[in-house]
Amino acid sequence: MKAFPVSAAPRLRRRAACRHGSWLGAFLIVAMLGSVAPAAAQVALNPDYPRTYVVQPGDTLWDIAGRFLRQPWRWRDVWEANPGVDNPNLIYPGDVLELTFREGRPRIRRAGASGGMRTVKLSPRVRVTELERAIPAIPINAVAPFLSRPLVADADEIDALDYVVGFPEGQLVASSGDEIYVRTILTAEEDRYEILRPGQEYRDPASGELLGFQATYVGAARLERFGDPATLRVSSTEREVAIGDRVRSARDEEPIRSFFPEAAPAGMIGQIIAVLNGVSQIGQFDVVVLNKGSEDRVQVGHVFEAYSGGGVRRDEVRTRRADWNWRNETPLDSSFWLGEWEYDGWNRNRPSENAPLPLHRRAVRPYSEYIEPDSRSGIVMVFKVFSRVSFGLVMHATRAMHIGETISAPRAL
């Protein structure tokens, strides 16, 4: 489906957004509100869906869609953009959304938007403010720190980067304003550099294959003299620069201007292999690392369901019935000869200190355990993709999630 830009306004608006540092406007995500696409299946509504809803400041499109739909990422299957207003695909606080039905299918549109025009002054500053007020698709502050940093690179990419080899005499580390020596920068074509630190490795849980290394952002530096080693001066840091940190040309990444949440391809299965904010129990708006990337056809906007389960648990009911009691077993009982016992240790001083066998084997029947069924634990949406892994934001969690849980394409309702 064709991507809609953040704004269809003239070039003046884009210039004004840049002039006022409007990174929020640049990142504004509106793809949930694209043209109505023919739905492959009937969109399922929430049982308590509202007939109308007034958009509130702080809302996100995902939140709004979740009020109406059981699968919020299917918003654009039911949205009817109004061509009679400025920026028909944007939603603003104060807009009234109404749910209607056409040929039995749900449709959502602005209430009373048959021909009304949004009143907007033509001042560039006011237009930028209006753009910034539009409702984003997701909580932008949850993903902003991870849009450009950290990055994931394979071992060859890291080895190919220049690196910090030392400091002026007497220094063990460097911070903002200090000089650093870097091998090897032989030209002055670039003068802005960023410093990265190779860190956590990501491996596939099933095969053990190395998927890449997380490279943590350390700081920025400017080239003062090229050579081997070259001299750079640190301009800003988030942590102290150390010997072995990697250096690469600073990159001005193109801001994300459009975004289409959609179900991941059917049959795609992976796992959560790490969490970026260091928590042990993963919850809503935590950022997780998935073992699927662009090589696996994962794209920005893909939505996965996360599942927990598959572990072996003890059946407490059958365990009590199946405990082996050597005193009660008799050759006259068929289970004495045919029972499928598994020895798993020793019992000491049972059933009493005076028992003729104070030490004997402990056994259980194999059916005293069961496999925990998989159950959905949350919804994850991909917002950044690398070749072998991707970063996802937990949009919803029904329970505490953990590293190792399975992700798969959303099931049809």
- What's the per-residue H, E or C state across the chain? CCCCCCCCCCHHHHHHHHHCCCHHHHHCCCHHHCCCCCCCCCCCECCCCCCEEECCCCCCHHHHHHHHECCHHHHHHCECCCCCCCCCCCCCCCCEEEEEEECCEEEEEECCCCCCCCCCCCCHHHHHHHHHHCCCCCCHHHHHHHCCCCEEECHHHHHCCEEEEECCCCCCCECCCCEEEEECECCCCCCEEEEEEEEEEEECCCCCCEEEEEEEEEEEEEEEECECCEEEEEEEECCCECCCCEEEECCCCCCCCCCCCEECCCCCEEEEEEECCCCCCECCCCEEEECCCHHHCCCCCEEEEEEECCCEEECHHHHHHHCCCCCCCCCCCHHHHHCCCEEEEEEECCCCCCCCCCEEEEEECHHHEEECCCEEEEEEEEEEECCCCEEEEEEEECCCECCCCEEECCCCC
Contact 218, 195 (CB under 8 A): yes
Residue-level pLDDT at 280: 76
Residue 42's pLDDT is 79
Please write the tens of the pLDDT for every residue from 307-345.
998 777 877 766 655 454 545 555 555 555 445 556 566
Q: How far apart are CA 27 and CA 383, in angstroms?
A: 12
Q: Give the pTM.
A: 0.71
| Spatial distance between the Cα atoms of 396 and 393, rounded to a whole number of angstroms | 9
Residue type, 301: G
What's the burial of 215, exposed, middle or buried (CB within 10 Å: 0-12/13-18/19+)? buried
Q: What CA–CA distance (Å, rounded) separates 411 from 413?
A: 6
pLDDT in tens, the chain (413 residues): 434 333 334 343 333 434 333 333 333 333 444 433 444 457 899 999 999 999 999 898 899 999 999 999 998 888 886 665 556 668 889 999 999 998 888 999 888 654 444 444 444 443 344 445 678 888 878 887 787 777 898 888 898 999 999 999 889 999 999 999 999 999 999 999 999 999 889 999 989 999 999 998 999 999 999 999 999 999 999 999 999 999 999 977 665 655 678 999 999 999 999 998 777 789 999 999 999 999 999 999 999 999 998 777 877 766 655 454 545 555 555 555 445 556 566 665 555 555 555 456 666 556 667 788 889 999 999 999 999 999 999 999 999 999 999 999 998 76
**Would you say 33 and 81 are in contact if contact means Cβ atoms under 8 Å apart?**
yes
Buried b vs exposed e over 216-225: b needs ≥16 C-beta within 10 Å? bbbbbbebee
Q: For the chain, which domains are there?
A: 11-145 (no CATH), 149-249 (2.40.10), 264-310+373-408 (2.40.30), 314-370 (no CATH)
pLDDT value at position 23?
A: 35
- How confident is the model at residue 255, as a pLDDT? 59
Q: Of 205, 209, 197, 201, whose CA–CA distance to 150 is shortest?
A: 197
Contact 211, 202 (CB under 8 A): yes
State the Cα–Cα distance between residues 331 and 333, nearest whole angstrom.
5
Q: What is the pLDDT of residue 79?
A: 86
Place of tokens 């720190």: 145
- What was the pLDDT predicted at 9? 40
